[in-house]
């Protein structure tokens, strides 16, 4: 029996890297009965067959996982965000950041298409980048396409990490990865002017070895539809709201309608970005309106674990 990590999943086959070699495997039958599906990023134990194929026998516990994209054991995520084509959206960016915070995945924000951005829009985007840096996020924003110094700094972050690339379709994830490692030659697509969305060009999830780490190129997406966190957890997934919230009058303040709320005061004073608070309120209401997914959360039909 050998131990390795799944680096690619395609049509029921799982490519597992073990001690520098890659083995093509299948999942054993009882995984399906247990409703367990191997994910790219999983550490597994597998057995090689004389035919050359192997069978996954055991999946190690995951430290985290994402459903979209389907990945496990992620250390950090590069959130690729276009300045234009498609237009920048604080709402979409914050949806992604909240999802990553909930999964304990370190976000890195990388703005693309700065060279295509009209001069009239650059001051506002510069302020956006600075506001997110103040929160504590690592942010890349250059008006020159793929500035070599930024590419080198980003690549240095990959060492001994499993890094995913994610972001709105058409933002340029595959193009950025091709700039980081020209040997990848990933397929890229044009942005549809009619839909203001990119064509889906990434068809599978694969881990590539880059910069002494593993990097995933993942299918694009336009939005998240379901928040997995509980309502009371949301406020702690906005770092600046969590930090400011300790000064609220009420310990369990949700920063919505409560009096003497330090967070709302900070928004009014300009210390917390208005769009961040607006998105927090929107996400709060979305979670409140969601029907509970008992199967995902591990509840019985009576609502008990």
246-278 pLDDT, tens digit per residue, is 999 999 999 999 999 999 999 999 999 999 999
Any known ligand binding at 136? Answer: no
Number of H helices, E strands in the chain: 9, 15
Predicted pLDDT at 51: 72
CA distances (Å), origin 246, targets 141, 179, 239, 264: 32, 43, 12, 13
For the chain, domains (ranges, CATH) are: 2-61 (2.40.50.140), 66-217 (3.40.50.300), 231-291 (1.10.40.50)
Any known ligand binding at 261? Answer: yes
Any known ligand binding at 185? Answer: no
According to DSSP, the β-strands at 106-112 and 13-18 are: unpaired
Any known ligand binding at 83? Answer: no
Predicted pLDDT at 186: 65
DSSP assignment of 198-228, as one string?
EPP---SEEEEEETTEEEEE---BS------
Any known ligand binding at 113? Answer: yes
DSSP assignment of 251-297, as one string?
TT--SSS-SS-HHHHHHHTTSS-HHHHHHHHHHHHHHHHSPP-HHHH
Any known ligand binding at 155? Answer: no
Q: Which of 56, 38, 168 is nearest to 110 (CA)?
A: 168
Predicted pLDDT at 299: 42
Any known ligand binding at 112? Answer: yes
Any known ligand binding at 25? Answer: no
Any known ligand binding at 255? Answer: yes
Distance CA 253, CA 290 (A): 21
Any known ligand binding at 167? Answer: yes
Distance CA 25, CA 9 (A): 10
Token pair for 89: 């959206």
Burial of 293 (0-12, 13-18, 19+ CB in 10 A): exposed
Backbone angles phi, psi at 140, to 5 degrees: -115, 125
Any known ligand binding at 114? Answer: yes
Any known ligand binding at 170? Answer: yes
Predicted pLDDT at 168: 80
Any known ligand binding at 115? Answer: yes
Using DSSP's 3-state secondary structure scheme, residue 97 falls into: helix
Q: Which of 95, 94, 90 is nearest to 225 (CA)?
A: 95
Length of the chain, in residues: 305
Give start and end residues of each alpha helix (H) in 26-114: 30-33, 90-102
Distance CA 239, CA 232 (A): 14
Any known ligand binding at 248? Answer: yes
Predicted pLDDT at 217: 61
Any known ligand binding at 63? Answer: no
**Residue 237 CA from chain centroid, whole number:** 14
Predicted pLDDT at 32: 79
Lowest mean per-residue pLDDT among 83-87, 214-218, 250-254 = 214-218
Token pair for 108: 């890195």
User: Percent of the chain scored above 70 by pLDDT?
Assistant: 85
């Amino acid at each position: 029996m050998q131990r390795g990590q799944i680096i690619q999943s395609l049509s029921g086959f799982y490519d597992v890297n073990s001690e520098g070699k890659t083995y093509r495997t299948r999942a054993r039958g009882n995984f399906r009965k247990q409703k367990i599906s191997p994910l790219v990023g999983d550490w597994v134990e597998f057995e090689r067959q004389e035919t050359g194929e192997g069978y996954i026998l055991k999946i190690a516990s995951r430290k985290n996982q994402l459903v979209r994209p389907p990945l496990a054991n992620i250390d950090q995520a590069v959130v690729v965000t276009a300045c234009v084509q498609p237009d920048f959206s604080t709402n979409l960016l914050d949806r992604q950041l909240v999802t990553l915070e909930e999964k304990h995945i370190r976000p890195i924000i990388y703005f693309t298409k700065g060279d295509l951005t009209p001069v009239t829009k650059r001051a506002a985007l510069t302020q956006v980048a600075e506001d997110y840096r103040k929160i504590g996020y690592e942010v890349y924003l250059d008006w020159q396409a793929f500035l070599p110094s930024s590419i080198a700094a980003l690549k240095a972050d990959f060492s001994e990490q499993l890094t995913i690339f994610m972001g709105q379709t058409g933002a340029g994830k595959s193009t950025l990865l091709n700039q980081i490692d020209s040997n990848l030659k990933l397929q890229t697509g044009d942005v549809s002017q009619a839909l203001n969305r990119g064509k889906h060009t990434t068809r599978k999830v694969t881990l590539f070895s880059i910069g002494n780490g593993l990097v995933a190129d993942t299918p694009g997406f336009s939005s998240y539809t379901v928040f997995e966190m509980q309502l009371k957890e949301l406020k702690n997934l906005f770092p600046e709201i969590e930090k400011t919230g300790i000064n609220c009058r009420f310990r369990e303040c949700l920063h919505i309608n409560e009096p003497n709320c330090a967070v709302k005061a900070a928004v009014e004073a300009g210390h917390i970005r208005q769009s961040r608070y607006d998105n927090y309120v929107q996400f709060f209401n979305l979670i409140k309106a969601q029907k509970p997914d008992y199967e995902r959360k591990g509840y019985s039909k009576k609502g008990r674990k």
